[in-house]
């Protein structure tokens, strides 16, 4: 260890990283557990990873499979399997892409939109309950820091 690495600032920085790693580890375990519950609220047979696809389609409305895969950073085969599953559950639909008749565009079905909106409403209510004693400044700061963390992850890809 160099003299600079053992400085009080370096030790403080390393301790902060350790605390963050532990806190995020707990948060991710809880989020993973919650993802199963949330997915089951949309549809009892839906896989948890598919929830993010539904949210993406809600925002973008229509997307090609390749654009979905690029947007979430996973391979086309994985996205394709999830889309097939969501289509079999009646949550998404494929249709001819108006810009390229050879391609297919994917969108939420009315039932998919309704189920997703209902689940999102329940999730927001849970957040309201969990964070009821937080003030607006704390909520904004947490949102800002999580957004910054997400951008750091996106750059890493």
Q: Summarize pLDDT for 99-154 with one digit per residue, the tens.
A: 777 778 999 999 999 999 988 888 888 889 989 999 999 999 999 999 999 888 87
Buried b (16+ CB within 10 A) or exposed e, 53-82: bbeebeeeeebbbebbbeeeeeeeeebeeb
Q: Is 9 helix (H, G, I), strand (E, B) or coil?
A: helix
Token representation of residue 88: 């079999």
Write down the pTM of the prediction.
0.70
Q: Is 96 helix (H, G, I), strand (E, B) or coil?
A: strand
CATH number, domain 8-156, options 3.40.190.150, 1.10.15.40, 1.10.286.10, 1.10.10.10: 1.10.10.10
pLDDT of residue 108: 95
Rounded to the nearest angstrom, the gap between the alpha carbon of residue 156 and the centroid of all alpha carbons in its chain is 17
Confidence of residue 6 (pLDDT cuts 50, 70, 90): confident
Rounded to the nearest angstrom, the gap between the alpha carbon of residue 8 and the centroid of all alpha carbons in its chain is 37
More confident residue, 12 or 157: 12
């Amino acid at each position: 260890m160099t003299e600079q690495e053992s400085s009080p600032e370096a030790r403080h920085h390393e301790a902060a990283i350790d605390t963050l790693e532990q806190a995020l580890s707990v948060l991710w375990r809880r989020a993973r557990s919650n993802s199963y519950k949330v997915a089951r609220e949309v549809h009892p047979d839906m896989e948890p990873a598919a929830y993010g696809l539904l949210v993406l389609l809600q925002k973008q409305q229509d997307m090609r499979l390749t654009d979905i895969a690029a947007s979430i950073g996973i391979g086309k085969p994985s996205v394709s399997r999830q889309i097939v599953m969501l289509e079999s559950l009646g949550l998404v639909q494929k249709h001819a892409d108006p810009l390229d008749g050879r391609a297919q565009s994917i969108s939420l079905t009315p039932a998919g939109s309704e189920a997703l909106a209902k689940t999102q409403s329940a999730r927001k209510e849970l957040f309201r309950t969990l964070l009821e004693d937080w003030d607006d400044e704390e909520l904004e700061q947490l949102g800002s820091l999580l957004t910054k963390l997400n951008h750091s992850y996106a750059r890493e890809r």
